[in-house]
């Protein structure tokens, strides 16, 4: 197995691995690379849903939600992200991740790692970009670190309560159905410790964090705006152009990401996604 960094910010490509047949020593090497680079790219993988689930489950329990739209038939663990239409109806979530976020941070126990597998890619568009929130934290001024040390962000699933995120057009006429589901808000430290490395990250995102616990909007919103802008400085980021067969896995406690969309017709981007749960942020 060969591991080649993809940028100065984060990410590495792993060469010489077939994810359908890894033994424990190889798994340990992958795990180590994952902690070091936060995002791993495996090319030319051909994973059935079972194989995709089996690899994901080595990192933790898979998150499933009974009413999640667009899971694969008989596989509630696997969500389809796709712009393909069948009889005029979308086969998957079209614009998943269209604002900077870290997965499932609106949950009490958010996502540890996400595994996204490219079954089909468009010639143009559909990139995904990540930003390193370890580095975002590390590069804050000493005063800012002190100011936010004990603050907690309020994470909200419902886009209608977030002035920084619009309801996506796909779900606009059934927004109540999609966003009105009973998901309580989650309150997490704005500075969290990674469950394995112990490193601190700036654990907020414009898609999910709408306020700061115990702080009025006049103070909280400008502070959040400043931190959101800092989180996505160009030098913290890596942008991925997908190839057919890519399996990417990323570490949500230390990265935020965004789906760049802009798929040029008639391009089709069709992905399978699993997510595994992590720890309660602390
Ligand atoms: C996601 O945010 O889960 C998906 C991002 C993408 O499809 O590029």
Share of the chain above pLDDT 90, in %: 89
Could you tell me if residue 144 is inside a domain?
yes
Residue 128 alpha carbon, nearest atom of ligand 1: 8
Strands 152-155 and 209-212: antiparallel
Per the structure, the complete domain to which residue 92 belongs is given by 2-63+70-277
Domain count, the chain: 1
Q: pTM for the complete prediction? A: 0.96
Who contacts 54 (Cβ-Cβ below 8 Å, separation ≥6)? none
| Residue 251: CATH number of its domain | 3.60.130.10
For residue 258, the CA-to-ligand 1 centroid distance in Å is 6
163 in a domain, yes or no?
A: yes
pLDDT band at 278 (very low <50, low <70, confident <90, very high): very high
Out of 41, 260, 271, 272, mutate this one to test ligand 1's pocket (max ligand atoms within 8 Å of CB): namely: 271
**Residue 65 vs residue 155, higher pLDDT:** 155
Is there a domain that residue 101 lies in?
A: yes
Is the CB of residue 71 less than 8 Å from the CB of residue 80?
yes
Q: Residue 29: inside a domain, yes or no?
A: yes
Pocket of ligand 1 contains residue 162 by CB under 6 Å: no
Cis check: omega of the bond before 266, within 30 degrees of 0: yes
Q: Is residue 282 part of a domain?
A: no
Which atom of ligand 1 is nearest to 97's Cα?
2
For 214-249, the pLDDT digits (tens) are 999 999 999 999 999 999 999 999 999 999 999 999
Residue 22 neighbours by CB under 8 Å, 6+ apart = 30, 55
Answer whether residue 203 is part of any domain: yes
Tell me, yes or no, whether 142 lies in a domain. yes
On whether the CB atoms of residues 19 and 247 are closer than 8 A, the answer is yes
Specify if 214 maps to a domain. Answer: yes
């Amino acid at each position: 197995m060969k591991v080649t960094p993809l940028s100065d910010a984060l990410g590495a490509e792993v060469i010489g691995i077939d994810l359908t047949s890894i033994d424990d020593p190889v798994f340990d090497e992958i795990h180590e690379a994952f902690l070091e680079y936060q995002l791993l790219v495996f090319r030319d993988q051909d994973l059935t849903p079972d194989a995709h689930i089996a690899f994901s489950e080595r990192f933790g329990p898979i998150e499933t939600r009974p009413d999640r739209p667009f899971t694969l038939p008989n596989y509630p663990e696997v969500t389809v992200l796709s712009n393909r239409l069948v009889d005029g109806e979308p086969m998957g979530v079209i614009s998943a991740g269209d604002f900077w976020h870290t997965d499932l941070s609106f949950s009490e126990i958010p996502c540890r790692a996400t595994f996204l597998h490219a079954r089909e890619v468009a010639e143009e568009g559909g990139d995904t970009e990540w930003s390193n929130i370890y580095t975002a934290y590390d590069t804050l001024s000493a005063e800012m670190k002190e100011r936010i040390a004990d603050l907690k962000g309020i994470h909200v699933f419902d886009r209608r309560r977030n002035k920084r995120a619009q309801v996506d057009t796909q779900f606009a006429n059934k927004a109540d159905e999609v966003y009105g589901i009973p998901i309580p808000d989650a309150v997490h430290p704005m500075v969290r410790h990674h469950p394995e490395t112990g490193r601190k990250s700036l654990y907020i995102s414009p898609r999910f964090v709408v306020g700061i616990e115990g702080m009025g909007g006049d103070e909280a919103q400008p502070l959040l705006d400043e931190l959101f802008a800092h989180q996505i400085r160009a030098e913290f980021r890596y942008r991925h152009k997908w190839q057919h067969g890519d399996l990417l896995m990323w570490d949500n406690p230390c990265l935020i990401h965004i789906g760049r969309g802009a798929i040029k017709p008639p391009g089709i981007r069709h992905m399978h996604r699993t997510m595994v749960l992590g720890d309660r942020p602390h």
